[in-house]
Structure 1
Amino acid sequence: MSKIILSTESGADLPEDLVNKHSVKVVPMHVIMDDKDYLDGSLPVQDIYDYYERTKKIPSTTATNVYEYQTFFTKIKAEFPNCVIIHIGYTSRASSSFQNALIAAEDFDNLFLIDALNVTGGLAAVVLHAVSLLKQEPKIKPEFLIEQIEKIVPKTRLAFVPGSLEFLKAGGRVSNMAYLGGALFKIKPRIELIEGKLISTKKYRGQMNVVAEKLIEDFLKEYKIDRKQLYFQYSIGLDDSIKTRMNDIAQKQGFNNITWIQAGAMISTHAGPGGFGIAGIEE
């Protein structure tokens, strides 16, 4: 039976220890700063924030291109001859990355693509669910594994609160008036992935410690998340006391397996420092 290899993009923000432990292949997206193109994961996230402090601009981001996917898939095929690749991609509704993967895939046999319709911790949740299925049944047929992954894509939920409205304003994602009002009243938008699109669904008022509690409370009320696993996302700068508090709340809600995921450079250009998010799969 052919070996199944799982792959995804760096926008999943999979922790390196989990990538290595489960042999997930990750292709980098791009961050452009000071007219230089960096592969996501090749530069410290702090450089993103230092660049903003220096220039009051945020870096731009670009998708993995067709040639990079071709090279990526070719390398996997060379390492694992006759393997089956299942690539779980960053939402096609917010990036051209998945479309580029589709074009590249035309040159390969036994290569299957799944649009996760999610990003960062939501995408990671889908990938790690696939890892779990493969671990439980190593001889699973590729078509059945694909079917099981596709079933949980619409049940995977992600919600987060950016740490800085300055980053949203600098990136053109909020108007100056909305930024001034948000900053004045300490309002933070809740961003969710709805059918693959990033949409502001609610606004919270207060400091991040208060907002984080409201976010997790609302999220667990609105979605019947499977208690087997919960994912928290954060961008550097989130206070450790908030992390401790979120762990306590989640454990009291019956979550014993909690994975923290740090936003990489690409995601951090949109979230800003000190952001917090939560992801899980509905029962």
Structure 2
Amino acid sequence: MRRLILSTESGADLPEELADKHNVQVVPMHVIIDGQDFLDGSLPVTDIYDYYERTKKIPSTTSTNSHEYHEFFTKIKIDFPDCIIIHIGYTSKASSSFQNAIIASEEMDDIFLIDALNVTGGLTALVIYAVTLLENEPTIDPVRLVEKIESKVPKSRLAFVPGSLEFLRAGGRVSNLAYLGGALLKIKPRIELIDGNLVSTKKYRGKMDGVSEKLMRDYLNEYDIDREQLYLIYSVGLDERIKQRMDEIAKETGFKNVKWMQAGAMISTHAGPGGFGIAGLEV
């Protein structure tokens, strides 16, 4: 039986302990500061915020290029001879990374590519879903596994409130940021992935503690999320009391497992400090 290997990008913010435990291979994206290229995962998130405080400039990000993907896939095949790779990628609507993966794999055999149409916790939810399928059915046909993962892509729901409108605006990834009508005092946008695009869907007013609770309750009212697993995402700077309150709400609403994920350097460059998000799979 040929081994199936799952892979994804650093923009999934897949916690390192989960990647190691389940042998998920992760290819880094890039953060650029003053012309210097850092691999996502090699740069402390606090360096991004310190740089902004010093310069009032926000770093940029770039996708994994096709050459890096070719090296990445080649290394997997060397490490796991005769394996089949199933790559679950960062949304193609917000990055060229997935297209670069396609280019890299054109002359390679036994690589399946799935556009997750999602990022951070929404992408991780799909990766862990795939991990669970493999654990429960190790001999599953790879085509069947891909079909099952793809069927869950529209059911992966991510919503977040960024910590800083300046970071969000500078990133330029949200298609309708003008919806906000400017950076009004204490107005925070709710950002979701709609068909793979980052879209501002609602406005919240107030401090982050109240906004986080409104976001979570709205999300759980709007989506029938599988109570087996919930993913909560934070960027450095989120108040610990907010995290405790979100844990309480998750418990109150019947979630069996809650996994907190820290936004990495690439995601944090767009979301800013003190952001909060929630992700899960609809039933």
Q: State whether TM-score is above 0.5.
A: yes
CA contact (8 A) 2:170 2:270 kept: no
Tell me which amino acid in the other structure corresponds to 1:50: D
Letter in 2 for 1:36: Q
Distance (Å, rounded) in 2 between the aligned partners of 1:93 and 1:141: 29
Q: How far off its partner does 1:169 sit?
A: 3.9
Check conservation: 2:88, 2:127, Cα contact below 8 A.
yes
The alignment status of 1:238 with 2:238, answered yes or no, reads yes
Deviations 1:64-114 (A, max 9, x none): 000000000000000111100000000000000000000111121110000
Q: How does 1:1-150 map to 2 (within 5 A)?
A: 1-150=1-150
Shift of 1:179: 4.0
Query: How many residues get paired?
Result: 279
Structure 2 CA distance for aligned equivalents of residues 138 and 98 of structure 1: 26
Given that 1:117 and 1:197 are in contact with CA atoms closer than 8 Å, whether structure 2 keeps it comes out as yes
Q: Is the 8 A contact 1:57 1:170 kept in 2?
A: no
Supply the distance in 1 between the matched residues of 2:133 and 2:170 (Cα, whole angstroms): 41
Deviation at 1:257, TM superposition (A): 0.3
Contact 2:89/2:114 (CA < 8 Å) preserved in 1?
yes
TM-score by length of 2: 0.96
Structure 2 unaligned segments of length 5 or more: list them: none
Say if 1:56 and 1:170, in contact at 8 Å, map to a contact too.
no
Aligned equivalents of 1:247, 1:78: Cα separation in 2: 42
Deviation at 1:140, TM superposition (A): 1.0
Say if 2:8 and 2:24, in contact at 8 Å, map to a contact too: yes
TM-score by length of 1: 0.96
Aligned to 1:223: 223
Query: What is the RMSD of the two structures over their aligned residues, measured on CA atoms?
Result: 1.2
Counterpart CA distance in 2 for 1:92 and 1:43 is 24
> Would you say the 8 A contact 2:225–2:282 is kept in 1?
yes
Distance in 2 of aligned mates of 1:33 and 1:102: 28
Distance (whole Å) between structure 2 residues aligned to residue 253 and residue 116 of structure 1: 27
Question: Deviations for 1:211-262, whole angstroms, at most 9, x for unmatched residues?
Answer: 0000011001110001111000000000000000000001110002001110
Q: Give the partner amino acid of 2:135.
A: K
Q: For the Cα contact (< 8 Å) 1:165–1:179, is it kept in 2?
A: no
Q: 1:88, 1:116 within 8 Å by CA — same for their partners in 2?
A: yes
Aligned identity (percent) is 70
Report the CA distance between 1:168 and its aligned residue: 2.5
- TM superposition shift of 1:170: 4.0
Q: Is the 8 A contact 1:169 1:179 kept in 2?
A: no
Instruction: Name the counterpart of 1:157.
Output: 157
The equivalent residue for 1:209 is 209
**Could you list the per-position Cα deviations for residues 116-156 of structure 1 after superposition, in whole angstroms to 9, with x for gaps in the alignment?**
00000000000010001001111111111111100100011
- Tell me the equivalent position of 1:189: 189
Q: Per the alignment, in what secondary structure is the counterpart of residue 202 of structure 1?
A: strand
